[in-house]
Structure 1
């Protein structure tokens, strides 16, 4: 028989066929059925029974269940009433031969024995003869004389009884020895299992202690976090209150300022005839000041971006490129795609390239292509402050001295439906951070139009107060001396009586000049009326810079690079003109003689940058690049730059769905222009230049699988390789601009 003993867990979830196979294999049964014989005790008053001391018919082996806890005691099998009454007796034991089958599942579960068997109904019969091998249990049974006589004679019984008794002693000793060995092995196994359990208990206790400490630490951190959150909440409420107070104050101040201007306008309108009569103001200035702002330029005739092209920016790029070609201006398509996307970001756009590469021409020609106006403002080398850009208020002349840049802004404000493009030409002839930094900070306001204060609103109040005094004195003096015929300032001065009275009223001496005072009042009034004290950044205005990089110019500071987009240019002589013409021919526009007209917000509007999302693929990529390369190289790269990139990518998808090209452009706009450092310095075991040359460039190539198809001047990979090449020839100094 097979000595394998199964645990009850090993038998769980086995099918009935599998359980029967296990029993057959364990008992050495080769037939399809399990036939046994054994003792059926006297039934007495019961109708059923249990077959005791069962043996296999085929081998005579006594049967034990191969289940842990049940392998020592012999099996017994339930006999249903039908077979028990047929084969049994109420008064004495009987020997029965039968076939076995698995007990019902409920009985197996009840007796906690997955292999429990019972007598198969209808197979029970009285045992008529002994098997070939006589089991010792029969011969040694004290009641054998009575029960065995039905199938063996007394002499055979005595013979086998005597022989069996000797064999029985040997068998008992053998079984006892085997039992003792088995029990000893079980004791050893139990001790080993106990030691393992004790080790596990100790390990679990150690883990429990660690877990308890960790929970305590987490609880402490949670308490600290709750305190921080509570403080932040309080600070937020405080800040919100402060903001609300500031907004209310700003609203009040703005209302007061507007009211001052309104009062001045009303007063000037009321005294218009008097002021013109006494030459305090010209009629043109009066009309400009009193009347509401009217467009000074006529809207050009063109085709509608919405109606004709259905708001499709890819079609818009095709049309603009075609329109420019019709004007003998050839730009590759990707330049138009990139430029219109940058304009729509409403960030500062800086065009970089050699002289004659077409930077200012792009500003002019694009403005014409969209029915807009371009204004080129040359930057002077001596510009050192924002006053050089926006002008200043001259207290001596009592007027604001405007610049061409400011006048262009005011003109854009007066023509809100026409796109304006102001180009600061040769932007880096002076240090940009000196004259443009304050203005650039204003451009960072994304949720509303930034407001630029030119001079104090108190000036207008001062002018109004002094003007009122002058007018009242003149009028009262005229009325007092009945001089209503005086109709000009010159006549007023010629009248000796009025002249002396005015000097007395103004507190003038003989040395003071009424003419000079009149001129001063005239300048003050003209200055306030012709130039507003503040101006909002017009929604239709785009600021573009154009720079050359040579020994006469200044490099752009990190503050400027962090807030601007750098778009490089190449000489138009290097462009593939045949390819451009082929592209334009494929568009098949019937009429490209008119500019393409956009609504102002379709060329860009100021809104907050997209939110930084840690799960966004672009955010993940540049956080990884910053950690692995930019930070190690000393290149400044922050959250705002990533959000600017998200904004650019979102807009670029509307002109080109090539995400790799968008990343290539972003690298050129925002990352590589910051590559100015000493490549000889070490980062770990390698220099910064080696990190760029051996690692970074390969990483960028993997991001841009089609980089070989890009024009060299517009390829981030080529730009990096050029930077490395120039650095090796320049003692390891890395400079994107060299």
Structure 2
């Protein structure tokens, strides 16, 4: 009979899942069930999988036979209030019985008491007496008094008024005060940047919309006035219509006046908010500086950044002076560099600018002295940006060598030049930063860079890097809170109004003794040393956040040489990067380059051309693969007929990267064949490292390259003969084939 009842009850649970309503059992269904079966129903109703009914709630005391009860009971799994799955006179939220021995032990008389514990079925006689087979009481095992509510502050803000009155109330501040303090101090700067700045930008956006609306209304008003005057001159008999037009004009003028008032009011509100924010930040910063917990630079970073306006050197605007034309920008940059005795063929500037706009990893490959890092530096100068060259060390083996690591002994993060460059870029969002890992392959790239490269693959949002646990910063700030409280208390206790800094406090014997007593220090302990430790820890938290996003103004570039001291790039790196190969500038036709630049006709190229960050590329998802697109069709066929048999693998990502490159390259050069040619050089040829003597079907792999793939590429790139040899994928492939024939059939793009 029990099995049948349980089976029927399973149907009830299934219906509950579909209807989205809580389960309610009838007494007849569950009154004869065993304790184990009753527990199973409670577990299933409340989503419990570990076979323990763990809850937290408020321990209350009242007069009467049952002095202690646990109220406002919440499941620890999801912090939701729970209730018996049966209709009874006294529900679970009317209070869980607590044995007096437990209540006497944990109840605190002068404030609200919260505990966490486990519920168990009460005695059978009590359940029969109250007509509730599910009746529970608080087990005496594993009871834990709570010093902090197991519900986040942001979750409390979303509670209903009823739930909030349960969770929040007199005495609860002790549970949440520490969390609030830590949030305010640790995110002092980010609150302004992320919240207030966002709000101000929203208001500015609205103001701009209103301003545009006002301008439109004014234009319409002038048009109406002109129409009225014209109508008066042409025909005086249109008096009635003129009257209507005048009324319309008056209405428009009234609406404009209202808009002007709203505009002024919004400006005043924003000004007050900014001033309030400045005052709050400055108050906190002044206190920390007064007692030497932060230095002048850190103080200025708090106060001056509130009204900081990015200053750029004298320049011309890409959108205004060059009309947002990328072809003109390439010409201008090439001419700008020539005036500084730096000569690059136009194709290199076209290619590099397109790759910068792709937001992908760029790897510049070539012999030493071929102009790789010079391109990074000179291009950054030409666009009003900043280049930072980071030398890679041969002993780099993990991401810690690239990004640094948290030292738990010093309680601070030990940053690297690469991380400092990312933080600096984040602090100057309007300036493009070009961070170059020089001699990137002196160490194995897949060891120290692979995790970071995975972050760069994020295309839907800003990539975020977790440097260390938020808890570490919280510990430092909590300790600082205690120190600040003791200092403030000692200063106020002895009313030392003339004392304004920590050293002065230490020189006062009464205050010094009081602070040692409060800290629990002996005469041998040094308060000065402890102050220095706190200051170093706080400086670490301020200078290096626990996580950092890669700003939209950052581009990562690698520069590599291929010789006996370096490592080859792994397929994982090649699959995600664009390889831009250089040869010695001494092999370039300098006269041709100069003639090319002179033909542009620029009279003055003294100033850099500054782009908006979005004009240098937005990190958006790659274009979708299309079965009808010619490029997709070509590379799908190449992959199945040649790349796969050669052991060279290409995935969907590579083709989508190609679609993105072709779309961007069109802005600097409309020659689609040149774009496809470049993509082959970037993404296909660098993967050609294999034994050409091995068979692929009936042919050697080297013969497949020479007699099948090369003619097919010549067919796809019909105008390849008109391309410069330096930038022709056909010429590059022929060079690979010739080298392989001279090297016992070993195919190696990098040789």
- TM-score w.r.t. structure 2 length? 0.62
Does residue 657 of the first structure (1) align with residue 657 of the second (2)?
Answer: no
SS at 2:320's partner residue? Answer: coil
Does residue 627 of the first structure (1) align with residue 640 of the second (2)?
Answer: yes
Going from structure 1 to structure 2, the CA distance change for 1:354 and 1:614 (only over 3 Å counts) comes to same
Does residue 328 of the first structure (1) align with residue 336 of the second (2)?
Answer: no
Residue from 471, 486, 491 that aligns with 1:458: 471
Q: Is the 8 A contact 2:411 2:476 kept in 1?
A: no
Does residue 712 of the first structure (1) align with residue 725 of the second (2)?
Answer: yes
Does residue 693 of the first structure (1) align with residue 706 of the second (2)?
Answer: yes
Larger CA deviation: 460-469 vs 640-649? 460-469
Q: Is the 8 A contact 1:451 1:536 kept in 2?
A: yes
Does residue 412 of the first structure (1) align with residue 334 of the second (2)?
Answer: no
Does residue 536 of the first structure (1) align with residue 549 of the second (2)?
Answer: yes
Going from structure 1 to structure 2, the CA distance change for 1:418 and 1:615 (only over 3 Å counts) comes to same
Q: Distance in 2 between matches of 1:534 and 1:656?
A: 40
Deviation at 1:332, TM superposition (A): 0.7
Q: Is the 8 A contact 1:568 1:714 kept in 2?
A: no
In the alignment, which residue of structure 1 is the partner of 2:243?
Answer: none
SS at 2:683's partner residue? Answer: helix
1:495-534 equivalences under 5 Å are 495-534=508-547
Deviation at 1:592, TM superposition (A): 1.6
In the alignment, which residue of structure 1 is the partner of 2:596?
Answer: 583
Does residue 640 of the first structure (1) align with residue 660 of the second (2)?
Answer: no
Residue from 173, 179, 184 that aligns with 1:262: 184
Q: Distance in 2 between matches of 1:300 and 1:272?
A: 30
Going from structure 1 to structure 2, the CA distance change for 1:422 and 1:252 (only over 3 Å counts) comes to farther
1:21-420 equivalences under 5 Å are 260-264=182-186, 265=188, 269-292=282-305, 298-420=311-433
Deviation at 1:295, TM superposition (A): 5.9
Deviation at 1:728, TM superposition (A): 2.0
Deviation at 1:458, TM superposition (A): 2.3
Q: Distance in 2 between matches of 1:337 and 1:488?
A: 58
Deviation at 1:250, TM superposition (A): 14
In the alignment, which residue of structure 2 is the partner of 1:681?
Answer: 694
SS at 1:356's partner residue? Answer: coil
Q: Is the 8 A contact 2:282 2:302 kept in 1?
A: no
Does residue 468 of the first structure (1) align with residue 481 of the second (2)?
Answer: yes
Residue from 553, 561, 566 that aligns with 2:566: 553
SS at 2:714's partner residue? Answer: helix
Q: Distance in 1 between matches of 2:729 and 2:180?
A: 51
Going from structure 1 to structure 2, the CA distance change for 1:504 and 1:552 (only over 3 Å counts) comes to same
Deviation at 1:375, TM superposition (A): 1.2
Residue from 484, 493, 508 that aligns with 1:480: 493
In the alignment, which residue of structure 2 is the partner of 1:119?
Answer: none
Deviation at 1:600, TM superposition (A): 1.2
SS at 1:292's partner residue? Answer: helix
Going from structure 1 to structure 2, the CA distance change for 1:312 and 1:521 (only over 3 Å counts) comes to same
Deviation at 1:529, TM superposition (A): 1.7
Going from structure 1 to structure 2, the CA distance change for 1:374 and 1:296 (only over 3 Å counts) comes to farther
Deviation at 1:363, TM superposition (A): 0.9
Q: Distance in 2 between matches of 1:573 and 1:250?
A: 65
SS at 2:599's partner residue? Answer: helix
SS at 1:468's partner residue? Answer: helix
Q: Distance in 1 between matches of 2:595 and 2:485?
A: 75
Which structure's CA Rg is the greater one? Answer: 1
Deviations 1:670-700 (A, max 9, x none): 0110111122211111111121122111111
Deviations 1:140-185 (A, max 9, x none): xxxxxxxxxxxxxxxxxxxxxxxxxxxxxxxxxxxxxxxxxxxxxx
Q: Distance in 2 between matches of 1:343 and 1:252?
A: 42
In the alignment, which residue of structure 1 is the partner of 2:457?
Answer: 444
Q: Distance in 1 between matches of 2:451 and 2:392?
A: 16
SS at 1:677's partner residue? Answer: strand
Q: Distance in 1 between matches of 2:612 and 2:389?
A: 23
Deviation at 1:455, TM superposition (A): 2.2
Q: Which runs of 5+ in 1 are unaligned?
A: 1-248
In the alignment, which residue of structure 1 is the partner of 2:163?
Answer: none
Going from structure 1 to structure 2, the CA distance change for 1:483 and 1:548 (only over 3 Å counts) comes to same
Deviations 1:531-551 (A, max 9, x none): 222222111111111111111
In the alignment, which residue of structure 2 is the partner of 1:185?
Answer: none
Going from structure 1 to structure 2, the CA distance change for 1:268 and 1:331 (only over 3 Å counts) comes to closer
Q: Is the 8 A contact 1:612 1:642 kept in 2?
A: yes
Q: Distance in 1 between matches of 2:515 and 2:292?
A: 17
Q: Distance in 2 between matches of 1:652 and 1:462?
A: 50
- Count the aligned residue pairs: 491
Deviation at 1:321, TM superposition (A): 1.2
In the alignment, which residue of structure 1 is the partner of 2:124?
Answer: none
Q: Is the 8 A contact 1:296 1:415 kept in 2?
A: no
In the alignment, which residue of structure 1 is the partner of 2:441?
Answer: 428
Larger CA deviation: 309-318 vs 702-711? 702-711
Deviation at 1:261, TM superposition (A): 4.6
Going from structure 1 to structure 2, the CA distance change for 1:527 and 1:658 (only over 3 Å counts) comes to same
Larger CA deviation: 476-485 vs 554-563? 476-485
Q: Is the 8 A contact 2:405 2:415 kept in 1?
A: yes
Q: Is the 8 A contact 2:285 2:303 kept in 1?
A: no
SS at 2:363's partner residue? Answer: strand
Q: Is the 8 A contact 1:289 1:529 kept in 2?
A: no
SS at 2:548's partner residue? Answer: strand
Deviations 1:337-394 (A, max 9, x none): 1111111101001111111111111111111111111111111111111122222222
Q: Distance in 2 between matches of 1:371 and 1:485?
A: 50
In the alignment, which residue of structure 2 is the partner of 1:574?
Answer: 587
